[in-house]
């Protein structure tokens, strides 16, 4: 047994995951070395249908529980996450290749959203509105929606699940979770902790994990009328498939899809901040966040300086295997196909006027694993290639002459997730955050586009799908608003003065 497989099995034991070896099992390679990790069970189509059935049966009792009591279960889940933070982070490093600090950050994000959900469990509520009729009350009741599906991606295998699940649970929904095929172990571990909290409260079936190996087996999550909401995170292409299919049966969707996030660097910017913010946002997580910085739109007078400074910072970054090595800044890509896409984009850039400045080279770290240096490519203008999301550490540098042009370049992509401007000029900041500025769901000033806190609503516009998760009033997506009129008079006046 390899060291990594050993470590994965030890982590699962610590969490208390028992793999039922009577079901079909499969092992997934670690992106660190391509060695197979501990085996995990798989769920076939019948298993998905059974999970929907259980989540449906569990719904009435859960929906009927007072929201603060549901919050207490989420609080217990958050405490279990605190207790097992490092072990869970290890599983993320093993399955996704994140450096330890980012893997722990992902678990912290789960803990944070649990805290948020616990607070919300005493807050979610509606308006009381003036009725036009005497002796009447007009108010909004927010009710649980029903069983929902959460489909998550490999790159935030645990946090995005818990963003949805912690909030959905306090809202009174039951959840069927289909994680990425790449990340069964962190999914088993996260589920085991939530199941413990739910079991202790006497609501064992409220959460269901389905580990399908073939995406087609998960189709009932899209097609079954009992699933009232499908919250899906992944590529825009996945969203094009999932969105219309669920809406065809009038199911609700919450989509968090591709980004093509940019930072505008203006002449008034604090360049030290801009460089640091850009390096983390572009090269952190090996460029595999949906919020990763992919386009640097720089005032022409600063383009060379910014490119040189980011290039020098990149040279200081250690690319390597982050397992038990905290000196590494950039871990592996998830697999070879991610590198093929990056390579392809770099080759196409070279033949379409792109100027390779630095990076994009393979780094040999061990016998397996796909390690690559982060790349910067100068482009004289934004091309269709730049408008595509390449899910790798590839930063395009685009010069601009005036801010209107910068904002036009910024918005001239299909996606609309995260954005930022580095400036010390309040007028530039105001234009960027104002109605004709950035068209994204996340708009930052002097902060890179990645690394959002859970307190705000997270999501984006256009081809990013329009969904909002985590903070602010994103909880409303998981509930059914009932506009309620109560007549407490002895008369029956009709609205609009109608006589009948």
Task: Report the catalytic residues.
Answer: 256, 290
Given the rule CB under 6 A, which of 153-161, 191-199, 224-232, 361-369 is the region that contacts ligand UN1?
A: 153-161
Is residue 233 part of the contact set for ligand UN1 (CB under 6 A)? yes
How far apart are CB 320 and ligand UN1 at their closest, in Å?
22
Kindly state whether residue 155 participates in binding ligand UN1, applying the rule CB under 6 A. yes
> What length is written for the chain?
500
450 binds ligand UN1 (CB under 6 A): yes
Give least dist CB 15 to ligand UN1, A.
Answer: 23
**327: number of Cβ within 10 Å:** 8
Residue 418 CB, shortest distance to ligand UN1, in Å, is: 7
Q: Considering only CA atoms, which of 199, 203, 165 is closest in space to residue 63?
A: 203
Token pair 């999932």 in the structure block, residue: 242
The binder of ligand UN1 chosen from 421, 452, 457, 474 (CB under 6 A): 452
CB 126 within 8 Å of CB 53:
no
CB of 108 to ligand UN1, least distance (A): 10
Binding mask 87-126 for ligand UN1 (x = CB under 6 A): ----------------------x-----------------
CB closer to ligand UN1 out of 233 and 321: 233
Closest contact distance (angstroms) between CB of 414 and ligand UN1 is: 17
- The answer to whether 289 contacts ligand UN1 (rule: CB under 6 A) is yes
451 lines the binding site for ligand UN1 (CB under 6 A): yes
The rounded distance, in Å, linking the Cα atoms of 200 and 183 is 26
CB of 334 to ligand UN1, least distance (A): 12
2-10, 374-382, 424-432, 446-454 -> range binding ligand UN1 (CB under 6 A): 446-454
Residue 335 exposed, middle or buried by CB count within 10 Å (0-12, 13-18, 19+): middle
Residue 440 contacts ligand UN1 per CB under 6 A: no
Max alpha carbon distance in the chain (Å)? Answer: 83
Nearer to ligand UN1, 94 or 160 (CB): 160
**Backbone CA torsion sign across 264, 261, 418, 335:** negative
Contact at 8 Å (CB) between 464 and 240? Answer: no
Residues 443 and 419: beta-carbon distance below 8 Å:
yes
Query: Among residues 59, 62, 154, 156, which is the contact residue for ligand UN1, using CB under 6 A?
Result: 156
Please tell me the distance from the alpha carbon of residue 465 to that of residue 198, in angstroms, as a whole number.
Answer: 31
Of 309, 304, 297, which is closest to residue 266 (Cα–Cα)? 297
Asked if residues 142 and 131 have their Cβ atoms less than 8 Å apart, the reply is no
CA-to-CA distance for 304 and 295, rounded, in angstroms? 15
| Chain residues in the site for ligand UN1 (CB under 6 A) | 109, 155-156, 160, 233, 289-291, 450-452
């Amino acid at each position: 047994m390899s060291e990594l497989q050993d470590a994965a099995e030890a982590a699962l034991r610590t969490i208390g995951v028992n793999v039922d070896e009577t079901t079909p099992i499969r092992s997934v390679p670690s992106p660190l070395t391509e060695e197979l990790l501990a085996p995990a069970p798989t769920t076939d189509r019948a298993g998905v249908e059974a999970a929907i059935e259980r989540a449906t049966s569990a719904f009435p009792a859960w929906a009927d529980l007072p929201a603060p009591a549901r919050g207490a279960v989420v609080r217990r889940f958050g405490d279990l996450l605190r207790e097992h933070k490092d072990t869970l982070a290890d599983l993320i490093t093993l399955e996704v290749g994140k450096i330890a600090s980012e893997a722990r950050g992902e678990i912290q994000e789960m803990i944070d959203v649990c805290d948020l959900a616990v607070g919300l469990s005493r807050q979610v509520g509606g308006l009381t509105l003036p009725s036009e009729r005497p002796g009447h009350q007009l108010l909004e009741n927010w009710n649980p929606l029903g069983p929902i599906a959460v489909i998550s991606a490999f790159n935030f295998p645990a946090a995005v699940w818990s963003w949805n699940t912690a909030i959905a649970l306090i809202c009174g929904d039951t959840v069927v979770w289909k994680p990425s095929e790449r990340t069964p172990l962190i999914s088993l571990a996260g589920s085991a902790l939530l199941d413990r909290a739910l079991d202790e409260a006497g609501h064992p079936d409220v959460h269901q994990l389905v580990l399908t190996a073939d995406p087609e087996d998960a189709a009932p999550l899209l097609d079954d009328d009992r699933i009232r909401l499908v919250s899906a995170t992944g590529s825009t292409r996945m969203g094009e498939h999932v969105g219309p299919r669920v809406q065809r049966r009038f199911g609700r969707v919450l989509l968090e899809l591709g980004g093509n996030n940019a930072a505008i660097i203006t002449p008034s910017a604090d360049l030290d901040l801009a460089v640091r913010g850009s390096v983390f946002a572009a090269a952190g997580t090996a460029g595999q966040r949906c919020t990763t910085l992919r386009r640097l739109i720089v005032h022409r007078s600063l383009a060379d300086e910014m490119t040189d400074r980011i290039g020098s910072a990149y040279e200081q970054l250690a690319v390597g295997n982050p397992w038990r090595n905290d000196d590494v800044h950039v871990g592996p890509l998830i697999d070879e196909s991610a590198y093929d896409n990056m390579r392809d984009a770099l080759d196409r850039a070279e033949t379409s006027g792109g100027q390779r400045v630095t990076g994009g080279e393979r780094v040999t770290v061990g016998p397996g694993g796909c390690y690559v240096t982060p790349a910067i490519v100068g482009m004289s203008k934004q091309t269709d290639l730049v408008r595509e999301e390449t899910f790798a550490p590839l930063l395009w540098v685009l010069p601009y002459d005036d801010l209107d042009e910068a904002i036009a370049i910024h918005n001239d992509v299909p996606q609309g997730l995260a954005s930022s401007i580095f400036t010390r000029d309040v007028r530039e900041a105001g234009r960027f955050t104002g109605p004709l500025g950035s068209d994204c769901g996340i708009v930052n000033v002097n902060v890179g586009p990645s690394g959002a806190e859970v307190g705000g609503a997270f999501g984006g516009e256009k081809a990013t799908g329009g969904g909002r998760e985590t903070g602010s009033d994103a909880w409303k997506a998981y509930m059914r608003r009932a506009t309620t009129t109560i007549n407490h008079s002895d008369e029956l006046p009709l609205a609009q003065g109608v006589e009948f």
